[in-house]
Structure 1
Amino acid sequence: MNRRLGAIQAAPAVWQWLAVTRQARLLYLFDHAINLVNEYGDVLSVVTPKIGAGPFHVVVNGFVAGDLSPIEGDESPATNIGVQVQPDGMQIGKLWVDVRGAAVWPPRVNWERLRAHTAPTTAGSGQAVWHSHLPHLQRIVQQHRMELGLDTTVWQPPLQTGLDLLLTGIAQGDTVVIQSGTAQLAGLGPGLTPAGDDVLMGVMLGLWATKAEATIRPLAEVMVATAVPRTTTLSAAGLRAAGRGEAGWLWHELSNRLSVTDNRWEETVAQILATGHSSGADALLGFLSVIRGW
Protein backbone atom coordinates (compact mmCIF):
# COMPACT_ATOMS: atom_id res chain seq x y z
CA MET A 1 0.00 0.00 0.00
CA ASN A 2 1.28 3.45 -0.91
CA ARG A 3 1.73 6.08 1.74
CA ARG A 4 0.96 9.71 0.91
CA LEU A 5 2.95 12.56 2.40
CA GLY A 6 1.92 16.16 1.88
CA ALA A 7 4.84 18.56 1.62
CA ILE A 8 5.04 21.34 4.21
CA GLN A 9 7.30 23.66 2.22
CA ALA A 10 9.50 23.53 -0.85
CA ALA A 11 12.03 25.72 -2.64
CA PRO A 12 11.09 27.07 -6.11
CA ALA A 13 13.71 24.75 -7.63
CA VAL A 14 11.54 21.81 -6.60
CA TRP A 15 8.71 22.74 -8.98
CA GLN A 16 11.24 23.45 -11.74
CA TRP A 17 12.77 20.01 -11.17
CA LEU A 18 9.36 18.32 -11.31
CA ALA A 19 8.43 20.20 -14.49
CA VAL A 20 11.47 19.16 -16.52
CA THR A 21 12.27 15.72 -15.14
CA ARG A 22 11.38 12.68 -17.22
CA GLN A 23 13.79 10.24 -15.63
CA ALA A 24 14.93 10.18 -12.01
CA ARG A 25 16.61 7.78 -9.65
CA LEU A 26 17.29 7.53 -5.97
CA LEU A 27 20.77 8.84 -5.28
CA TYR A 28 21.21 8.33 -1.53
CA LEU A 29 19.08 7.53 1.51
CA PHE A 30 19.49 8.81 5.04
CA ASP A 31 17.33 8.70 8.14
CA HIS A 32 16.00 12.19 7.43
CA ALA A 33 16.69 12.70 3.71
CA ILE A 34 15.89 11.08 0.38
CA ASN A 35 18.15 12.41 -2.36
CA LEU A 36 16.98 12.13 -5.97
CA VAL A 37 18.79 13.04 -9.18
CA ASN A 38 17.33 13.51 -12.66
CA GLU A 39 18.70 13.03 -16.16
CA TYR A 40 20.31 16.48 -16.06
CA GLY A 41 22.24 15.77 -12.86
CA ASP A 42 20.03 18.09 -10.81
CA VAL A 43 19.28 17.05 -7.24
CA LEU A 44 16.04 17.18 -5.27
CA SER A 45 15.99 16.21 -1.59
CA VAL A 46 12.92 15.12 0.35
CA VAL A 47 13.73 15.90 3.99
CA THR A 48 12.15 15.89 7.42
CA PRO A 49 11.91 19.01 9.62
CA LYS A 50 15.06 17.87 11.45
CA ILE A 51 17.01 18.92 8.35
CA GLY A 52 14.57 21.61 7.26
CA ALA A 53 14.33 23.93 4.30
CA GLY A 54 17.10 24.25 1.74
CA PRO A 55 17.69 25.41 -1.85
CA PHE A 56 16.53 22.11 -3.38
CA HIS A 57 14.54 20.64 -0.48
CA VAL A 58 10.97 19.42 -0.07
CA VAL A 59 10.12 19.32 3.65
CA VAL A 60 7.68 16.61 4.75
CA ASN A 61 6.51 15.49 8.19
CA GLY A 62 8.42 12.23 8.07
CA PHE A 63 8.94 8.87 6.41
CA VAL A 64 10.02 5.40 7.47
CA ALA A 65 12.37 2.89 5.90
CA GLY A 66 9.49 0.58 4.99
CA ASP A 67 8.15 3.22 2.60
CA LEU A 68 11.32 2.91 0.54
CA SER A 69 12.47 -0.67 1.00
CA PRO A 70 14.69 -2.26 -0.04
CA ILE A 71 17.48 -0.08 1.33
CA GLU A 72 21.09 -1.16 0.87
CA GLY A 73 22.58 1.00 3.61
CA ASP A 74 22.54 4.39 5.19
CA GLU A 75 24.73 5.99 2.54
CA SER A 76 24.54 3.47 -0.29
CA PRO A 77 23.29 4.27 -3.77
CA ALA A 78 19.77 2.86 -3.96
CA THR A 79 19.27 2.15 -7.62
CA ASN A 80 16.73 -0.61 -6.97
CA ILE A 81 13.95 1.68 -5.72
CA GLY A 82 11.68 3.05 -8.41
CA VAL A 83 11.07 6.78 -8.83
CA GLN A 84 8.25 8.28 -10.90
CA VAL A 85 7.83 12.02 -11.33
CA GLN A 86 4.73 14.10 -12.02
CA PRO A 87 4.25 17.89 -11.98
CA ASP A 88 2.52 17.75 -8.59
CA GLY A 89 4.72 15.23 -6.83
CA MET A 90 6.76 12.06 -7.01
CA GLN A 91 6.45 8.37 -6.26
CA ILE A 92 9.48 6.95 -4.44
CA GLY A 93 9.09 3.27 -3.74
CA LYS A 94 5.82 3.03 -1.80
CA LEU A 95 5.90 6.71 -0.88
CA TRP A 96 3.93 9.41 -2.72
CA VAL A 97 5.14 12.96 -1.99
CA ASP A 98 2.49 15.55 -2.87
CA VAL A 99 3.78 19.12 -3.26
CA ARG A 100 0.48 20.79 -4.18
CA GLY A 101 -0.09 22.29 -0.73
CA ALA A 102 3.52 23.18 0.02
CA ALA A 103 4.43 26.71 1.03
CA VAL A 104 7.10 28.29 -1.17
CA TRP A 105 10.36 28.78 0.73
CA PRO A 106 12.76 31.40 -0.73
CA PRO A 107 16.30 29.94 -0.69
CA ARG A 108 18.30 33.14 -1.14
CA VAL A 109 19.58 34.69 2.09
CA ASN A 110 18.81 38.39 2.57
CA TRP A 111 22.45 39.39 2.23
CA GLU A 112 21.55 43.00 1.42
CA ARG A 113 19.97 43.37 4.83
CA LEU A 114 23.04 41.92 6.51
CA ARG A 115 25.43 44.14 4.55
CA ALA A 116 23.29 47.21 5.31
CA HIS A 117 23.44 46.56 9.05
CA THR A 118 26.28 48.99 9.68
CA ALA A 119 27.31 51.60 12.21
CA PRO A 120 28.66 54.90 10.81
CA THR A 121 32.26 55.69 11.63
CA THR A 122 33.87 59.09 12.04
CA ALA A 123 35.24 58.77 8.54
CA GLY A 124 31.74 58.38 7.18
CA SER A 125 32.24 54.79 6.11
CA GLY A 126 30.49 51.85 7.66
CA GLN A 127 31.54 48.74 9.50
CA ALA A 128 29.12 45.93 10.14
CA VAL A 129 27.88 45.99 13.72
CA TRP A 130 27.96 42.21 13.74
CA HIS A 131 31.72 42.30 13.18
CA SER A 132 32.06 42.84 16.92
CA HIS A 133 30.93 39.22 17.33
CA LEU A 134 33.66 37.82 15.07
CA PRO A 135 36.35 37.15 17.71
CA HIS A 136 33.88 35.18 19.81
CA LEU A 137 32.50 33.39 16.76
CA GLN A 138 35.99 32.44 15.69
CA ARG A 139 36.78 31.04 19.15
CA ILE A 140 33.60 28.94 19.10
CA VAL A 141 34.47 27.46 15.70
CA GLN A 142 38.12 26.86 16.61
CA GLN A 143 37.14 25.12 19.85
CA HIS A 144 34.70 22.88 18.01
CA ARG A 145 37.25 21.97 15.36
CA MET A 146 39.82 21.18 18.05
CA GLU A 147 37.37 18.92 19.90
CA LEU A 148 36.70 16.99 16.69
CA GLY A 149 40.38 16.87 15.75
CA LEU A 150 39.60 18.41 12.37
CA ASP A 151 42.83 20.37 12.12
CA THR A 152 44.92 17.19 12.47
CA THR A 153 43.35 15.22 9.62
CA VAL A 154 45.48 14.08 6.70
CA TRP A 155 43.62 16.39 4.32
CA GLN A 156 44.03 19.49 6.52
CA PRO A 157 47.40 20.66 5.07
CA PRO A 158 46.20 20.61 1.42
CA LEU A 159 42.87 22.12 2.56
CA GLN A 160 44.65 25.07 4.17
CA THR A 161 46.96 25.46 1.18
CA GLY A 162 44.00 25.50 -1.21
CA LEU A 163 42.07 27.95 0.97
CA ASP A 164 45.03 30.33 1.23
CA LEU A 165 45.50 30.21 -2.54
CA LEU A 166 41.80 30.83 -3.15
CA LEU A 167 41.72 33.82 -0.79
CA THR A 168 44.80 35.25 -2.52
CA GLY A 169 43.11 34.90 -5.89
CA ILE A 170 39.95 36.61 -4.62
CA ALA A 171 41.94 39.48 -3.08
CA GLN A 172 43.88 39.99 -6.31
CA GLY A 173 40.95 39.37 -8.62
CA ASP A 174 43.08 36.74 -10.38
CA THR A 175 40.86 34.17 -12.09
CA VAL A 176 43.69 31.71 -12.67
CA VAL A 177 44.65 31.69 -8.99
CA ILE A 178 40.98 31.36 -7.97
CA GLN A 179 40.67 28.34 -10.25
CA SER A 180 43.82 26.81 -8.83
CA GLY A 181 42.73 27.25 -5.21
CA THR A 182 39.24 25.97 -5.96
CA ALA A 183 40.61 22.92 -7.77
CA GLN A 184 42.72 22.03 -4.73
CA LEU A 185 39.68 22.23 -2.43
CA ALA A 186 37.01 20.60 -4.61
CA GLY A 187 36.30 17.01 -3.61
CA LEU A 188 38.98 17.08 -0.89
CA GLY A 189 38.18 14.77 2.01
CA PRO A 190 35.77 11.87 2.55
CA GLY A 191 31.99 11.80 2.44
CA LEU A 192 29.21 12.91 0.14
CA THR A 193 29.98 16.56 0.89
CA PRO A 194 33.78 16.57 1.26
CA ALA A 195 35.45 19.02 3.64
CA GLY A 196 36.98 21.03 0.81
CA ASP A 197 33.55 21.55 -0.75
CA ASP A 198 32.09 22.69 2.56
CA VAL A 199 34.90 25.23 2.87
CA LEU A 200 34.18 26.43 -0.67
CA MET A 201 30.51 26.85 0.18
CA GLY A 202 31.44 28.89 3.25
CA VAL A 203 33.77 31.09 1.22
CA MET A 204 31.01 31.89 -1.26
CA LEU A 205 28.54 32.67 1.52
CA GLY A 206 31.18 34.89 3.12
CA LEU A 207 31.52 36.78 -0.16
CA TRP A 208 27.75 37.26 -0.33
CA ALA A 209 27.79 38.59 3.24
CA THR A 210 30.41 41.23 2.51
CA LYS A 211 30.47 42.22 -1.15
CA ALA A 212 28.07 43.60 -3.74
CA GLU A 213 26.36 41.15 -6.07
CA ALA A 214 28.11 42.54 -9.14
CA THR A 215 31.45 41.69 -7.54
CA ILE A 216 30.43 38.28 -6.25
CA ARG A 217 28.78 36.72 -9.28
CA PRO A 218 31.83 36.43 -11.56
CA LEU A 219 33.92 35.07 -8.68
CA ALA A 220 31.27 32.51 -7.74
CA GLU A 221 30.80 31.44 -11.35
CA VAL A 222 34.50 30.63 -11.66
CA MET A 223 34.50 28.72 -8.37
CA VAL A 224 31.38 26.70 -9.21
CA ALA A 225 32.52 25.89 -12.76
CA THR A 226 35.87 24.69 -11.41
CA ALA A 227 34.52 22.70 -8.45
CA VAL A 228 31.46 20.92 -9.85
CA PRO A 229 33.29 18.48 -12.19
CA ARG A 230 35.60 17.51 -9.33
CA THR A 231 33.11 16.47 -6.68
CA THR A 232 30.01 14.41 -5.92
CA THR A 233 26.58 15.05 -7.42
CA LEU A 234 25.08 15.96 -4.05
CA SER A 235 27.89 18.31 -3.09
CA ALA A 236 27.81 19.96 -6.52
CA ALA A 237 24.16 20.88 -5.96
CA GLY A 238 25.05 22.65 -2.73
CA LEU A 239 27.93 24.50 -4.37
CA ARG A 240 25.73 25.74 -7.22
CA ALA A 241 23.22 27.01 -4.67
CA ALA A 242 25.89 28.81 -2.63
CA GLY A 243 27.14 30.46 -5.81
CA ARG A 244 23.67 31.99 -6.20
CA GLY A 245 23.64 33.19 -2.59
CA GLU A 246 21.31 30.39 -1.52
CA ALA A 247 21.67 28.36 1.66
CA GLY A 248 19.79 26.22 4.15
CA TRP A 249 17.48 27.70 6.74
CA LEU A 250 20.15 27.86 9.48
CA TRP A 251 22.22 30.30 7.43
CA HIS A 252 19.10 32.40 6.91
CA GLU A 253 18.57 32.42 10.66
CA LEU A 254 22.20 33.33 11.34
CA SER A 255 22.04 36.23 8.88
CA ASN A 256 18.76 37.46 10.34
CA ARG A 257 20.03 37.34 13.91
CA LEU A 258 23.28 39.10 13.07
CA SER A 259 21.31 41.75 11.16
CA VAL A 260 19.39 42.78 14.28
CA THR A 261 22.17 42.07 16.81
CA ASP A 262 20.14 39.20 18.23
CA ASN A 263 22.27 37.54 20.91
CA ARG A 264 20.77 34.17 20.03
CA TRP A 265 23.16 33.96 17.07
CA GLU A 266 25.33 31.65 19.21
CA GLU A 267 22.50 29.10 19.29
CA THR A 268 22.34 29.15 15.51
CA VAL A 269 26.11 28.75 15.18
CA ALA A 270 25.92 25.72 17.47
CA GLN A 271 23.25 24.21 15.20
CA ILE A 272 25.37 24.84 12.10
CA LEU A 273 28.38 23.24 13.80
CA ALA A 274 26.25 20.17 14.52
CA THR A 275 25.48 19.71 10.80
CA GLY A 276 27.01 16.47 9.57
CA HIS A 277 30.27 15.24 11.06
CA SER A 278 32.22 18.34 10.08
CA SER A 279 30.22 19.99 7.26
CA GLY A 280 29.03 22.89 9.39
CA ALA A 281 32.44 23.45 10.96
CA ASP A 282 34.16 23.42 7.57
CA ALA A 283 31.59 25.80 6.06
CA LEU A 284 32.04 28.23 8.96
CA LEU A 285 35.82 28.00 8.51
CA GLY A 286 35.43 29.17 4.91
CA PHE A 287 32.87 31.81 5.87
CA LEU A 288 35.09 33.30 8.59
CA SER A 289 38.17 33.25 6.36
CA VAL A 290 36.42 35.75 4.07
CA ILE A 291 34.79 37.82 6.82
CA ARG A 292 38.11 38.35 8.64
CA GLY A 293 39.63 39.91 5.53
CA TRP A 294 36.79 42.34 4.88
Structure 2
Amino acid sequence: MTVATRPGGRRAHARTDATGAASTALRRMLESPRRPARVLAAFPSGIYLEVRTELEPHVVALVTESATRLPNSMVVTGTMPQVAVGDEAHVGDGSIEVGRLSLRARRWWNPAPVLGPVDPVRLAAALPAMTELCDRSARRPGLEGNGAADLLSEGCAQASLVRGVMAAEQLVGLGPGLTPSGDDMLAGLLVALRHLGAAAGVPRAVWLAGWLAAAVTFDARGRTTPISATLLHCAARGEASGEVLAVLRGLAGRQALDPALHRLLRLGHTSGADLAWGLRIGLAAVVSLGGGAG
Protein backbone atom coordinates (compact mmCIF):
# COMPACT_ATOMS: atom_id res chain seq x y z
CA MET A 1 0.00 0.00 0.00
CA THR A 2 1.19 3.51 -0.78
CA VAL A 3 0.11 6.58 1.14
CA ALA A 4 -0.27 9.92 -0.61
CA THR A 5 0.39 13.02 1.48
CA ARG A 6 -0.03 16.73 1.03
CA PRO A 7 2.91 19.12 1.51
CA GLY A 8 3.60 19.52 5.22
CA GLY A 9 3.16 15.85 5.93
CA ARG A 10 -0.64 15.82 6.36
CA ARG A 11 -2.26 12.57 5.29
CA ALA A 12 -4.46 12.95 2.17
CA HIS A 13 -5.66 9.46 1.35
CA ALA A 14 -4.36 5.91 1.05
CA ARG A 15 -4.20 4.13 -2.27
CA THR A 16 -3.75 0.40 -2.60
CA ASP A 17 -1.50 -0.70 -5.46
CA ALA A 18 -2.40 -4.08 -6.91
CA THR A 19 -1.81 -6.20 -9.98
CA GLY A 20 -4.04 -8.42 -12.06
CA ALA A 21 -4.16 -10.69 -15.08
CA ALA A 22 -5.49 -8.64 -18.01
CA SER A 23 -7.00 -9.66 -21.32
CA THR A 24 -4.87 -8.63 -24.29
CA ALA A 25 -8.02 -6.93 -25.59
CA LEU A 26 -7.32 -4.24 -22.96
CA ARG A 27 -3.68 -3.65 -23.85
CA ARG A 28 -4.29 -0.76 -26.25
CA MET A 29 -6.65 0.92 -23.80
CA LEU A 30 -4.27 0.55 -20.86
CA GLU A 31 -1.27 1.78 -22.84
CA SER A 32 -3.14 4.85 -24.15
CA PRO A 33 -3.13 8.22 -22.37
CA ARG A 34 -5.07 8.37 -19.09
CA ARG A 35 -8.80 8.89 -19.64
CA PRO A 36 -11.71 9.49 -17.28
CA ALA A 37 -14.19 6.70 -16.68
CA ARG A 38 -17.20 6.05 -14.50
CA VAL A 39 -18.55 3.06 -12.63
CA LEU A 40 -21.30 1.59 -14.78
CA ALA A 41 -22.21 -1.32 -12.52
CA ALA A 42 -20.80 -2.77 -9.30
CA PHE A 43 -21.23 -6.26 -7.86
CA PRO A 44 -19.29 -8.23 -5.22
CA SER A 45 -17.61 -10.24 -7.99
CA GLY A 46 -17.09 -7.48 -10.54
CA ILE A 47 -16.99 -3.79 -11.40
CA TYR A 48 -17.72 -2.42 -14.86
CA LEU A 49 -16.11 0.85 -15.93
CA GLU A 50 -17.24 2.88 -18.95
CA VAL A 51 -14.29 4.77 -20.41
CA ARG A 52 -14.78 8.04 -22.29
CA THR A 53 -13.14 6.98 -25.53
CA GLU A 54 -13.89 5.75 -29.02
CA LEU A 55 -11.55 2.81 -28.51
CA GLU A 56 -12.97 -0.67 -28.06
CA PRO A 57 -13.55 -2.19 -25.62
CA HIS A 58 -14.89 0.99 -24.07
CA VAL A 59 -16.23 -0.94 -21.08
CA VAL A 60 -13.59 -2.54 -18.84
CA ALA A 61 -14.53 -5.28 -16.39
CA LEU A 62 -12.65 -5.85 -13.13
CA VAL A 63 -13.55 -9.32 -11.88
CA THR A 64 -12.58 -11.61 -9.03
CA GLU A 65 -10.86 -14.94 -9.61
CA SER A 66 -14.15 -16.80 -9.08
CA ALA A 67 -16.12 -14.70 -11.60
CA THR A 68 -16.55 -15.25 -15.33
CA ARG A 69 -13.39 -14.16 -17.14
CA LEU A 70 -14.94 -11.88 -19.75
CA PRO A 71 -12.85 -11.01 -22.82
CA ASN A 72 -12.71 -7.35 -21.72
CA SER A 73 -11.65 -8.05 -18.15
CA MET A 74 -8.78 -7.83 -15.70
CA VAL A 75 -8.83 -10.55 -13.07
CA VAL A 76 -8.09 -9.05 -9.66
CA THR A 77 -6.72 -10.95 -6.68
CA GLY A 78 -8.25 -9.90 -3.40
CA THR A 79 -11.23 -7.79 -2.40
CA MET A 80 -12.98 -5.42 -4.77
CA PRO A 81 -13.01 -1.75 -3.73
CA GLN A 82 -16.23 -0.32 -2.35
CA VAL A 83 -17.66 1.84 -5.14
CA ALA A 84 -21.08 2.94 -6.34
CA VAL A 85 -22.60 3.44 -9.76
CA GLY A 86 -21.53 6.82 -11.11
CA ASP A 87 -18.26 7.00 -9.15
CA GLU A 88 -15.30 8.42 -11.06
CA ALA A 89 -12.39 6.30 -12.25
CA HIS A 90 -9.46 6.55 -14.66
CA VAL A 91 -8.00 4.16 -17.22
CA GLY A 92 -4.71 4.54 -19.10
CA ASP A 93 -1.01 5.26 -18.68
CA GLY A 94 -0.64 1.62 -17.69
CA SER A 95 -3.14 1.49 -14.86
CA ILE A 96 -6.79 1.40 -13.81
CA GLU A 97 -7.74 3.60 -10.86
CA VAL A 98 -11.09 3.08 -9.18
CA GLY A 99 -11.94 3.94 -5.60
CA ARG A 100 -8.69 3.66 -3.68
CA LEU A 101 -7.39 0.87 -5.88
CA SER A 102 -4.67 1.36 -8.51
CA LEU A 103 -4.33 -1.69 -10.76
CA ARG A 104 -1.60 -2.66 -13.21
CA ALA A 105 -1.40 -5.71 -15.43
CA ARG A 106 1.10 -8.21 -14.04
CA ARG A 107 0.46 -10.70 -16.83
CA TRP A 108 -1.70 -11.03 -19.94
CA TRP A 109 -4.02 -13.70 -21.31
CA ASN A 110 -5.43 -14.15 -24.81
CA PRO A 111 -9.26 -14.11 -25.15
CA ALA A 112 -9.05 -15.38 -28.77
CA PRO A 113 -6.52 -18.24 -28.85
CA VAL A 114 -6.13 -20.09 -32.13
CA LEU A 115 -8.01 -23.37 -31.97
CA GLY A 116 -5.77 -25.23 -34.40
CA PRO A 117 -6.81 -27.59 -37.22
CA VAL A 118 -9.98 -29.61 -36.64
CA ASP A 119 -11.32 -32.44 -38.78
CA PRO A 120 -14.73 -31.38 -40.16
CA VAL A 121 -15.93 -34.94 -39.52
CA ARG A 122 -15.32 -34.39 -35.80
CA LEU A 123 -17.41 -31.21 -35.83
CA ALA A 124 -20.21 -32.99 -37.68
CA ALA A 125 -20.21 -35.68 -34.97
CA ALA A 126 -20.16 -33.05 -32.22
CA LEU A 127 -23.29 -31.29 -33.50
CA PRO A 128 -25.87 -33.91 -32.40
CA ALA A 129 -24.05 -34.33 -29.10
CA MET A 130 -24.23 -30.60 -28.38
CA THR A 131 -27.84 -30.44 -29.54
CA GLU A 132 -28.83 -33.25 -27.17
CA LEU A 133 -27.03 -31.67 -24.22
CA CYS A 134 -28.66 -28.28 -24.83
CA ASP A 135 -32.12 -29.76 -25.34
CA ARG A 136 -31.88 -31.77 -22.11
CA SER A 137 -30.76 -28.78 -20.04
CA ALA A 138 -33.21 -27.03 -17.74
CA ARG A 139 -31.47 -23.75 -18.57
CA ARG A 140 -33.37 -22.34 -21.54
CA PRO A 141 -32.45 -19.47 -23.90
CA GLY A 142 -34.26 -16.21 -23.30
CA LEU A 143 -35.56 -16.01 -26.88
CA GLU A 144 -36.54 -19.63 -27.37
CA GLY A 145 -39.23 -19.80 -30.08
CA ASN A 146 -38.32 -16.37 -31.48
CA GLY A 147 -38.72 -16.19 -35.27
CA ALA A 148 -35.62 -14.06 -35.75
CA ALA A 149 -33.49 -16.77 -34.12
CA ASP A 150 -34.86 -19.36 -36.54
CA LEU A 151 -34.20 -17.03 -39.46
CA LEU A 152 -30.65 -16.50 -38.23
CA SER A 153 -30.03 -20.24 -38.09
CA GLU A 154 -31.40 -20.79 -41.61
CA GLY A 155 -29.49 -17.85 -43.05
CA CYS A 156 -26.18 -18.98 -41.56
CA ALA A 157 -26.59 -22.58 -42.72
CA GLN A 158 -27.10 -21.28 -46.27
CA ALA A 159 -24.50 -18.48 -46.02
CA SER A 160 -27.32 -16.07 -46.93
CA LEU A 161 -26.24 -12.55 -46.06
CA VAL A 162 -29.74 -11.18 -46.61
CA ARG A 163 -31.36 -13.56 -44.12
CA GLY A 164 -28.46 -13.50 -41.70
CA VAL A 165 -28.15 -9.74 -41.51
CA MET A 166 -31.93 -9.25 -41.39
CA ALA A 167 -32.18 -11.61 -38.42
CA ALA A 168 -29.13 -10.15 -36.68
CA GLU A 169 -30.55 -6.63 -36.96
CA GLN A 170 -33.70 -7.79 -35.18
CA LEU A 171 -31.76 -9.53 -32.42
CA VAL A 172 -29.34 -6.74 -31.40
CA GLY A 173 -30.44 -5.42 -28.01
CA LEU A 174 -33.43 -7.78 -27.82
CA GLY A 175 -34.20 -8.91 -24.28
CA PRO A 176 -33.69 -7.53 -20.76
CA GLY A 177 -30.56 -7.27 -18.63
CA LEU A 178 -26.99 -6.00 -18.89
CA THR A 179 -26.43 -8.41 -21.79
CA PRO A 180 -29.72 -8.97 -23.64
CA SER A 181 -30.41 -12.49 -24.90
CA GLY A 182 -30.20 -11.50 -28.56
CA ASP A 183 -26.71 -10.08 -28.05
CA ASP A 184 -25.47 -13.15 -26.18
CA MET A 185 -26.74 -15.39 -28.96
CA LEU A 186 -25.05 -13.25 -31.61
CA ALA A 187 -21.78 -13.22 -29.63
CA GLY A 188 -21.76 -17.02 -29.44
CA LEU A 189 -22.51 -17.26 -33.15
CA LEU A 190 -19.75 -14.85 -34.23
CA VAL A 191 -17.12 -16.63 -32.13
CA ALA A 192 -18.18 -20.08 -33.39
CA LEU A 193 -18.20 -19.07 -37.06
CA ARG A 194 -14.79 -17.44 -36.83
CA HIS A 195 -12.95 -20.05 -34.74
CA LEU A 196 -14.58 -23.25 -35.97
CA GLY A 197 -14.68 -22.03 -39.57
CA ALA A 198 -10.95 -21.28 -39.51
CA ALA A 199 -10.11 -24.53 -37.71
CA ALA A 200 -12.11 -26.72 -40.09
CA GLY A 201 -11.00 -24.91 -43.25
CA VAL A 202 -14.44 -23.49 -44.11
CA PRO A 203 -13.69 -19.99 -45.42
CA ARG A 204 -17.35 -19.21 -46.14
CA ALA A 205 -18.06 -19.44 -42.41
CA VAL A 206 -15.27 -16.95 -41.63
CA TRP A 207 -16.50 -14.71 -44.46
CA LEU A 208 -20.02 -14.83 -43.00
CA ALA A 209 -18.68 -14.00 -39.54
CA GLY A 210 -17.02 -10.88 -40.92
CA TRP A 211 -20.19 -9.57 -42.54
CA LEU A 212 -22.41 -10.35 -39.56
CA ALA A 213 -19.87 -8.75 -37.22
CA ALA A 214 -19.98 -5.55 -39.25
CA ALA A 215 -23.77 -5.54 -39.09
CA VAL A 216 -24.13 -6.12 -35.34
CA THR A 217 -21.35 -3.76 -34.24
CA PHE A 218 -22.46 -0.84 -36.41
CA ASP A 219 -23.77 1.77 -33.93
CA ALA A 220 -23.99 -0.97 -31.28
CA ARG A 221 -23.66 1.62 -28.52
CA GLY A 222 -26.91 3.19 -29.66
CA ARG A 223 -28.78 -0.10 -29.96
CA THR A 224 -27.97 -2.03 -26.81
CA THR A 225 -26.42 -1.64 -23.36
CA PRO A 226 -22.83 -0.38 -23.06
CA ILE A 227 -21.62 -3.68 -21.59
CA SER A 228 -23.30 -5.73 -24.29
CA ALA A 229 -22.07 -3.46 -27.08
CA THR A 230 -18.52 -3.98 -25.88
CA LEU A 231 -18.96 -7.76 -25.76
CA LEU A 232 -20.33 -7.73 -29.32
CA HIS A 233 -17.20 -5.87 -30.46
CA CYS A 234 -15.09 -8.47 -28.66
CA ALA A 235 -16.99 -11.35 -30.27
CA ALA A 236 -16.56 -9.72 -33.68
CA ARG A 237 -12.81 -10.19 -33.19
CA GLY A 238 -13.25 -13.77 -31.95
CA GLU A 239 -12.73 -12.85 -28.28
CA ALA A 240 -14.77 -14.73 -25.71
CA SER A 241 -15.01 -15.75 -22.06
CA GLY A 242 -13.17 -18.76 -20.71
CA GLU A 243 -16.42 -20.75 -20.55
CA VAL A 244 -17.15 -20.17 -24.25
CA LEU A 245 -13.58 -21.00 -25.27
CA ALA A 246 -13.78 -24.24 -23.28
CA VAL A 247 -16.87 -25.31 -25.25
CA LEU A 248 -15.05 -24.60 -28.51
CA ARG A 249 -12.18 -26.79 -27.34
CA GLY A 250 -14.70 -29.47 -26.41
CA LEU A 251 -16.24 -29.37 -29.88
CA ALA A 252 -12.77 -29.66 -31.38
CA GLY A 253 -11.96 -32.69 -29.21
CA ARG A 254 -9.32 -30.87 -27.14
CA GLN A 255 -11.19 -31.52 -23.88
CA ALA A 256 -14.43 -33.11 -22.65
CA LEU A 257 -17.48 -31.34 -24.08
CA ASP A 258 -20.09 -32.26 -21.45
CA PRO A 259 -18.58 -30.51 -18.39
CA ALA A 260 -17.54 -27.47 -20.45
CA LEU A 261 -21.06 -27.05 -21.83
CA HIS A 262 -22.64 -27.53 -18.41
CA ARG A 263 -20.41 -24.78 -16.97
CA LEU A 264 -21.43 -22.44 -19.77
CA LEU A 265 -25.14 -23.17 -19.40
CA ARG A 266 -25.00 -22.23 -15.70
CA LEU A 267 -23.87 -18.66 -16.39
CA GLY A 268 -26.32 -15.93 -15.43
CA HIS A 269 -30.08 -16.24 -15.71
CA THR A 270 -30.15 -17.03 -19.44
CA SER A 271 -26.78 -15.74 -20.68
CA GLY A 272 -25.10 -19.14 -20.71
CA ALA A 273 -27.98 -20.76 -22.57
CA ASP A 274 -28.11 -17.85 -25.04
CA LEU A 275 -24.37 -18.11 -25.72
CA ALA A 276 -24.69 -21.88 -26.14
CA TRP A 277 -27.54 -21.38 -28.61
CA GLY A 278 -25.34 -19.05 -30.66
CA LEU A 279 -22.46 -21.54 -30.57
CA ARG A 280 -24.83 -24.28 -31.69
CA ILE A 281 -26.07 -22.20 -34.65
CA GLY A 282 -22.49 -21.41 -35.61
CA LEU A 283 -21.42 -25.04 -35.35
CA ALA A 284 -24.35 -26.15 -37.52
CA ALA A 285 -23.47 -23.50 -40.10
CA VAL A 286 -19.81 -24.57 -40.26
CA VAL A 287 -20.86 -28.20 -40.69
CA SER A 288 -23.40 -27.29 -43.38
CA LEU A 289 -21.11 -24.93 -45.29
CA GLY A 290 -18.29 -27.46 -45.07
CA GLY A 291 -20.45 -30.11 -46.73
CA GLY A 292 -20.88 -32.23 -43.61
CA ALA A 293 -24.58 -31.68 -42.97
CA GLY A 294 -25.47 -35.13 -44.19
What is the rounded CA distance, in whole Å, between the counterparts of 2:45 and 2:247 in structure 1? 22
1:38 aligned residue: 51
Q: Deviations over 1:136-188 (max 9, x none)?
A: 322221222xx24x46x6x544xx21122223443455444333211211111
Partner amino acid, structure 2, of 1:68:
Q
Structure-2 change in CA distance of 1:223 and 1:256 (3 Å): same
- Find the residue that maps to 1:58 and give its secondary structure: strand
Map 1:77-156; keep pairs closer than 5 Å: 78-79=85-86, 81-99=87-105, 102-111=106-115, 113=116, 116-118=117-119, 127-144=120-137, 147-148=138-139, 150=140, 155-156=143-144
The answer for unaligned runs of 5 or more in structure 2 is 1-13, 288-294
- How much has 1:258 moved relative to structure 2? 3.5
Map 1:88-237; keep pairs closer than 5 Å: 88-99=94-105, 102-111=106-115, 113=116, 116-118=117-119, 127-144=120-137, 147-148=138-139, 150=140, 155-157=143-145, 160-208=146-194, 209-210=196-197, 211-212=202-203, 213-225=206-218, 227-237=220-230
1:58 aligns with 2:74: yes
- How much has 1:225 moved relative to structure 2? 2.0
Aligned length: 262
What is the rounded CA distance, in whole Å, between the counterparts of 2:127 and 2:163 in structure 1? 27
Q: Does the 8 Å contact 1:109/1:251 carry over to 2?
A: no
- How much has 1:30 moved relative to structure 2? 1.6
- Find the residue that maps to 2:216 and give its secondary structure: helix
- How much has 1:261 moved relative to structure 2? 4.9
- Find the residue that maps to 1:27 and give its secondary structure: strand
> What TM-score, normalized to structure 1?
0.80
Question: Which one of the candidate residues 11, 17, 27 is aligned to 2:40?
Answer: 27
Question: Which one of the candidate residues 18, 22, 37 is aligned to 1:10?
Answer: 22
Structure-2 change in CA distance of 1:290 and 1:214 (3 Å): closer
Q: Does the 8 Å contact 1:175/1:222 carry over to 2?
A: no
Structure-2 change in CA distance of 1:136 and 1:63 (3 Å): same
Identity %, equivalent residues: 27
> What TM-score, normalized to structure 2?
0.80
2:284 aligned residue: 292
Superposition CA RMSD, Å: 2.4
Q: Deviations over 1:167-216 (max 9, x none)?
A: 34434554443332112111111100011111111221221213434453
The answer for unaligned runs of 5 or more in structure 1 is 72-77, 119-126
Identify the structure with the greater helix proportion. 1
- Find the residue that maps to 2:91 and give its secondary structure: strand
